[in-house]
Amino acid sequence: MPHDARPDAAAAEVGAMELFGLKVFTLGGFGEITAGDDLAALIAEAARSRLIDGDIVAVTSKIVSKAEGRAVPAADREQAITEETVRIVASRAYPGGVTRIVENRQGLVMAAAGVDTSNAPAGVVLLLPVDPDASARALCTALRERTGLRLGVLITDTAGRPWREGQTDIAIGAAGLVVLDDLRGTTDVSGRRLDVTVAAVADEIAGAADLVKGKTSCNPVAVLRGLGRLVGDLDAVGARALQRPSDTDMFRLGTTEARAEGYREGFAAGLAAAAEKS
């Protein structure tokens, strides 16, 4: 256990994990979050003075969306997905409908634009926060003011990954901490230069937080201790820096969409070639 951990913390923690100096635990005491709730006040109260300098607070996006009033009637889910979509990446029909992988207004590539029914009140679906980085900055600023501590804040959401089964939590909003640890120019243990390694530490932190938050345990906030080296200024770049621009993405389209685009380009090229010969 880190030397700076408070002696009464373990008994009060709802769930905890400790590994090689990293300690992750949840904060209990959260009821149903509703529009207008002060998340900073609720988190500070749930922490009961257990936060220390250098802690990172990982907050599930669902409670941020609830507090920001980002709920729409469940009957409008498909329309909400359409309205939140900037670009269709891939779609696939199945017996119950169509799964859409899209780039949403926040720049995230996700199934259903991040519109979700899980852990939402009956009869509604939740949209992602309008600007997750701005939400994280506001929350981080308020928590720092309330506690007087140098804290980092992550807003996390669940996402699938290309070529991998299952889902994991990723960082969609961040404030007060490093989101990418650029190791380029350093050397590995064998003295070889690292030329491409940039660690997505914000996503790694989000995944670690999810190990104790879980999906069904009603623990929407986790605290990670032992990563104080990553906590910094409030004006540090946010989680949007983790998003790869579509024009540099080698796999920016699904199979069906890529074939359709190739067909259109080939057809146009064929028409142009025929016109030149005539």
Whether residue 60 sits in one domain with residue 183: yes
In this structure, the answer to whether residues 136 and 34 fall within a common structural domain is yes
For the chain, the first-to-last Cα distance in angstroms comes to 80
Last residue of a domain, one of 124, 140, 169: 124
102: burial class by Cβ within 10 Å (0-12, 13-18, 19+)?
A: buried
3-state secondary structure of 217: coil
pLDDT of residue 257: 86
Same domain, 47 and 166: yes
Same domain, 57 and 137: yes
Q: What is the pTM of this model?
A: 0.86
Tell me what pLDDT residue 109 has. Answer: 93
- Say if 248 falls within a structural domain: no
**Tens of pLDDT along 181-190?**
999 999 999 9
Q: Quick one: 119 and 146 in the same domain?
A: no
- Same structural domain, 14 and 142: yes
Same domain, 176 and 238: yes
One domain for residues 200 and 133: yes
Q: What is the CATH number of the domain that holds 153?
A: 3.30.1330.100
Domain-ending residue, one of 80, 100, 124: 124
| pLDDT surpassing 80 at residue 268 | yes
Q: What pLDDT shows up at residue 232? A: 94
Same domain, 137 and 266: no
pLDDT for 255: 84
Q: Does residue 76 lie within any of the structural domains?
A: yes
pLDDT at position 19, please?
57
Mind listing the pLDDT tens digit for each residue in 219-255?
999 999 999 999 999 999 999 999 998 888 888 888 8
- 104 and 209 part of one domain: no
- Phi then psi for residue 255, to 5 deg, are -60, -50
Residue 31: predicted pLDDT: 87
Q: What is the DSSP string of 163-186?
A: TEEEEEEEEEEEESB-S-EE-TT-
Same domain, 5 and 120: no
Contact 173, 238 (CB under 8 A): yes
| Same-domain status, 182 and 193 | yes
Range of the domain at 258: 253-278
Residue ending a domain, choose from 93, 124, 155? 124
pLDDT score, position 14: 46
Q: Looking at the domain assignment, is residue 80 inside a domain?
A: yes
Q: How many domains does the chain have?
A: 3
Instruction: Specify the higher pLDDT residue, 5 or 273.
Output: 273
pLDDT at 9: 40
Whether 34 is covered by a domain: the verdict is yes
Quote the percentage of the chain above a pLDDT of 90.
70
Residues 105-131 pLDDT 10s: 999 999 999 998 888 888 999 999 999
| Per-residue model confidence (pLDDT) at position 20 | 61
pLDDT digits (tens, 9 = 90+) for 76-89: 899 999 999 999 99
Residue 59 has pLDDT above 60, yes or no: yes
> Is pLDDT of 42 > 60?
yes
Report which listed range, 5-9, 20-24, 55-59, is most confident: 55-59
Does residue 154 lie within any of the structural domains? yes
Instruction: For residue 178, give every residue at least 6 positions away whose Cβ sits within 8 Å of its Cβ, in sequence order, or none.
Output: 201, 202, 230, 232, 236
